[in-house]
């Protein structure tokens, strides 16, 4: 009995965000009036002007400015990863959405949500955690996850205007001004605080707690997003078949995108540890950056919950399928011929150096 309880507790500890996300959606369905716009929580003020800026202040503090300077090494690899994540996947998502809109009766807002999910940047924490777990190249993961999230501030709203401008009545200038005020300014504040010695040192001590704070804010935002959705009866009539269809479409998309990134990046003359780290960054999509961006861009849109749903499916998909594959990927990296050859060369160099030192020692003794 104790063993079962321990396993349950361990599962809750590992997957508490996923459990919390499901709980918040259920809570929003039961009590939509609490978290909806103009409701008691006033999310149009508390989330937009307080919680979202807090996320990006903490992101600014956490992201080392010097990491971006390393981008000049392996420039072609980094460029390919960014183009794949922020151009190829969004274009593919648009094509997939348009195809299903033309041949099925799946809810149009859900299909537009696929486009939105494809336009957000890659994860930061998950990419780096997975990379570390498989002994991949963490520098590649750090650089590309950071670049993707910085570029998305401009790229994501621009792509959404291009793909969904007519349907969602996006005003790019208005969106960019909002993003500057709510995202860029707080991020710059965080970067500035990082470089103020006294404050920066104190914040470094608190940095491990930032992820917990960000996750709790994301759960509040998910509750608010779905409160708005469930409070609008006309927009929440999603059939079970629509939900199942979107679920399988998103899961298959992730598998295809990850496999495609693996095939493309493996063509580069780099170690497996390097291109496997790049594959995580290429195929992942960030709920941490995506939900705040969706909130800023579609704040007054009644369909915001439907727009968010594909991303909320994509996130646990990459988490679960990625976790299942970690041991195989780690083994694949460790069996890299380049690493084996490098290890052999290192051992050979050590042996040659040792022999050379022994010969020099003998010569000195003879003298």
C-alpha distance from residue 287 to each of 56, 99, 125, 350 (Å): 14, 25, 11, 47
Kind and range of the H or E element at 187? helix 185-195
Q: What's this model's pTM, rounded to 2 decimal places? A: 0.67
Look at residue 1 and tell me if it is in a domain: no
pLDDT in tens, the chain (367 residues): 567 777 778 877 777 777 887 888 889 888 888 888 788 888 878 887 888 788 778 777 766 666 555 545 688 999 999 999 999 999 999 999 999 999 999 998 899 999 999 999 988 767 877 887 788 887 788 788 878 877 887 888 888 888 987 555 555 666 667 667 776 788 788 878 877 766 666 776 777 777 778 778 878 877 887 787 677 654 456 788 998 999 999 999 999 999 999 999 999 988 898 999 999 999 999 887 777 777 777 777 777 778 888 998 898 788 778 877 888 898 899 888 876 545 444 444 554 555 566 666 655 555 5
Residue 275 is assigned to a structural domain of this protein: yes
Provide the CATH number for the domain around residue 84.
1.20.1530.20
CA distance 46 to 54: 11
Q: With 0-12 CB in 10 A as exposed, 13-18 as middle and 19+ as buried, what is 297?
A: buried
Residue 265 lies in a domain: yes
Q: Give the residue ranges of DSSP H helices in 31-107.
A: 32-35, 43-46, 52-62, 75-83, 89-103
> Could you list the residue range(s) of the whole structural domain that residue 325 is in?
77-171+208-336
Distance (Å, rounded) from C-alpha 98 to C-alpha 94?
A: 6
Which residues, at least 6 apart from 38, have a Cβ–Cβ distance to it below 8 Å? 44
Residues sharing a CB contact under 8 Å with residue 258, sequence separation 6 or more, in sequence order: 279, 282, 283, 318, 321
Return the residue matching tokens 């598998």: 255
Q: What is the tally of structural domains in the chain?
A: 1
Paired tokens of 187: 């991020």
* Residues sharing a CB contact under 8 Å with residue 264, sequence separation 6 or more, in sequence order: 80, 84, 282
The verdict on residue 141 lying in a domain is yes
Has residue 131 been placed in a domain? yes
- Is residue 361 included in any domain, yes or no? no
Q: What is the pLDDT of residue 81?
A: 96
**Does residue 142 fall inside a structural domain?**
yes
Structure tokens at 204: 């470094």
């Amino acid at each position: 009995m104790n063993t079962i309880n321990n396993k349950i507790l361990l599962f809750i500890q590992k997957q508490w965000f996923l459990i919390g996300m499901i709980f918040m959606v259920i809570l929003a369905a039961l009590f939509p009036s609490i978290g909806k716009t103009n409701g008691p929580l006033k999310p149009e003020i508390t989330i937009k002007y307080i919680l979202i800026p807090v996320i990006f202040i903490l992101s600014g503090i956490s992201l080392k400015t010097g990491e971006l300077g390393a981008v000049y090494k392996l420039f072609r690899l980094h460029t390919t990863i960014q183009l794949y994540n922020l151009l190829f996947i969004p274009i593919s998502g648009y094509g997939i959405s348009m195809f299903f809109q033309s041949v099925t009766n799946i809810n149009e807002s859900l299909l537009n949500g696929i486009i939105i999910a494809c336009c957000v940047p890659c994860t930061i924490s998950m990419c780096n955690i997975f990379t570390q777990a498989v002994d991949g190249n963490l520098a590649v993961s750090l650089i590309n996850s950071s670049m993707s999230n910085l570029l998305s501030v401009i790229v994501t709203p621009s792509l959404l205007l291009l793909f969904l401008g007519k349907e969602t009545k996006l005003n790019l200038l208005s969106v960019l001004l909002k993003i500057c005020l709510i995202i860029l300014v707080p991020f710059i504040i965080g970067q500035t605080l990082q470089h103020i010695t006294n404050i920066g040192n104190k914040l470094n001590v608190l940095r491990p707690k930032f992820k917990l704070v960000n996750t709790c804010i994301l759960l509040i935002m998910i509750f608010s997003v779905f409160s708005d959705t469930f409070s609008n009866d006309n927009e929440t009539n999603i059939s079970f078949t629509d939900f199942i269809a979107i679920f399988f479409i998103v899961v298959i998309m992730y598998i295809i995108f990850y496999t495609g990134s693996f095939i493309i990046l493996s063509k580069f003359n780099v170690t497996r540890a390097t291109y496997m780290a790049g594959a995580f960054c290429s195929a992942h999509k960030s709920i941490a950056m995506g939900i705040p961006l969706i909130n800023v861009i579609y704040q007054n849109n009644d369909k915001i919950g439907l727009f968010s749903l594909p991303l909320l499916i994509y996130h646990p998909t990459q988490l679960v399928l990625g976790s299942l594959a970690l041991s195989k990927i780690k083994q694949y990296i460790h069996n890299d011929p380049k690493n084996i050859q490098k290890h052999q060369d290192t051992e050979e160099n050590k042996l040659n150096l040792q022999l050379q030192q022994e010969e020099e020692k003998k010569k000195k003794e003879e003298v």
